[in-house]
Every structure is written in C-alpha cells, then in structure tokens.
Amino acid sequence: MVVVTGQSKASATPDDAMSSSDAEDDFQEPATPTATQAGQALPLLPQQFPEVVPLNVGGMFFTTRLSTLRRYEDTMLAAMFSGRHYIPTDNEGRYFIDRDGTYFGDILNFLRSGDLPPRERVRSVYKEAQYYSIGPLLDNLEDIQPLKGEKVRQAFLGLMPYYKDHLERIIEIAKLRAMQRKARFAKLKVCVFKEEMPITPYECPHFNSLRFERSESETKLFEHHCEVDVSFGPWEAVADVYDLLHCIVTDLSARGIAVDHQCIGVCDKHLINHYYCKRPIYEFKITWW
C-alpha cells in the first residue's frame, strides 16, 4: 500500500502512478482484525460476569454463584470465569461450555460444599475433574473406592513388563483368527507364570540353591519360550497368577471384549536333568459377537 503525503493526485507524474493490478499484488489483508471488525465480532475484554451465573454445559442447564466457579483458583473454571477470557452465550444468555454436562452437577456439588459422588459415578466424575483441573476433587476421589483399589492394581501391573503390549497382542491375534475362520470367537494360548525358575515336585529340595547360585551358563540352560501366543511374567510381588488373570480379564472387558479362560495344563518342556518347565498354560476364548 502506498501512502501519499503532501501531494494531490493531480500532481503525481505518470511514472509514479501504479496500475490497479500492481496495487492489488502489493496489497495484503491485515493479519488481525481492525478495531471496528473486532468490536463487531467479540465484546471487549475483560468480560464481566453476574454474581449468579446461568450455565449451559453441553445442552444441560445449571445455575450457580460466580464465587463457586472461582472456589479454587488453579482450576479451569476459575480461569474461564476470571474475566480474562471470553465465554460465549446461548440464545437465552447462558454461558456456554462445550462439554458433556452429565456429571457437571457433581462438579458443582463439590465446589459448593465438598460433596463427593456415589461410588458408581466416581470414575466418570474423576474424568471430568481431570478436564476441569480440580486438584482437590481429584485427591479426594483417588482416596476412595474404586480408584483407591485401582491405584494398588496399577502398582502391581507396573511390575509386569510389556503388560499393555501383551493385551494388544491378545486382541490382534484373536481378531485375525476370527476373521480368517469367519467365526464368532477365537481361541489362543496364554502362559501366565510368576516364577522364572522351573521346578518338579521331586526336585523341590534343590530349587532354592539352583535359583540363587547358578552360573550364567546354567541360567541359559533354563531359558526358553513356551509354545504359546502370549506370555506374561515373571514378576516379584505377593499377587499371584490368579490376580494377574483377573487383571487381564478386567482390562479386556473394560474395552468391551468378552473373554473366558481356563487352565489346559503346563508347558512341561524338558530343560536339563530332571527339570521341566511347569509354567501354567491357559486357553483364552475371545467372543466377538
């Protein structure tokens, strides 16, 4: 854009004149709206809120005090209604939050009086508390069931190498086999073992000595992979094989996958001398519809 000062159009020489096409090439739209455009699009900040705030959360209506929304200053709600950010309104003048409002009432009840949701809604309210970054509510929910038990369970699963990867492998193998066979279900073999050292009933007296005092070459003699689709273990914790099986079934069921399992024997592979692999083998049946 050319700005001409101190000269009229008549005084401009032909050499100084620009064609309309040249002017269009040099002209660029402003990167940000002008003051007039901004005033038409959004109100000027900071935004002022009434003491009693009407809310529309994903189509569900709530009414609360402004001080309730600002109860904890480090939360998303406190930031949203601080006046530093613009919150759109619906046709009725309610402040709109683009979020499912199913559990927003539980959020407000905690902000108002510290009330916690019933047990069956704890997980869902926890997810909402994470979204709104309400730290005190998160701390309270983590200290009650079922989240408290879930923390203990996750601490155990933290000892399990590649646990999530193995779950994905179970799902992928079962899906592939069901599609290949055009069947409702698929079966696969899963090994779940807590102890790495193989044993036999008549070799138990020598078990501890060999477990802790064997050389590197002896260790390699005991290393092997059971002929199964997926193998979990070993781990060091009080929780046993049945506890891990419960975790596997729980996590698959949480993803909508119907699963049954039963023990079908042990590996029983000969390793060295009188030692055989005694890792239990389970048959998993995944039903797809």
State residue 177 phi and psi, 5-degree precision.
-65, -40
What does the pLDDT read at residue 45?
58
Total of domains in the chain: 2
173/94 same-domain check: no
Q: Provide the pairing of β-strand 230-232 with 185-192.
A: parallel
Q: Report the 10 Å Cβ neighbour count for 210.
A: 18
Q: How many helices (H) and strands (E) does the chain have?
A: 12, 9
Q: Please report, as a single letter, which amino acid is at residue 236.
A: E
Look at 6-10, 126-130, 139-143, 253-257 and tell me which has the smallest mean pLDDT. Answer: 6-10
163/274 same-domain check: yes
| Confidence (pTM) | 0.65
CATH assignment of the domain containing 69 = 3.30.710.10
pLDDT digits (tens, 9 = 90+) for 215-270: 555 555 556 678 899 999 888 888 899 999 999 999 999 999 999 999 999 887 77
Does 253 map to a domain? yes
What does the pLDDT read at residue 219?
52
Last residue of a domain, one of 105, 121, 144: 144
Confidence bin at 30 (pLDDT 50/70/90): very low
Structure tokens at 221: 């003699």
What does the pLDDT read at residue 52?
97
Does 171 map to a domain? yes
233/121 same-domain check: no
139/164 same-domain check: no
Q: What range does the domain containing 246 cover?
A: 159-198+224-287
pLDDT digits (tens, 9 = 90+) for 42-88: 555 578 999 999 999 999 999 999 999 999 999 999 999 999 989 99
281/166 same-domain check: yes
69/138 same-domain check: yes
Does 85 map to a domain? yes
Does 210 map to a domain? no
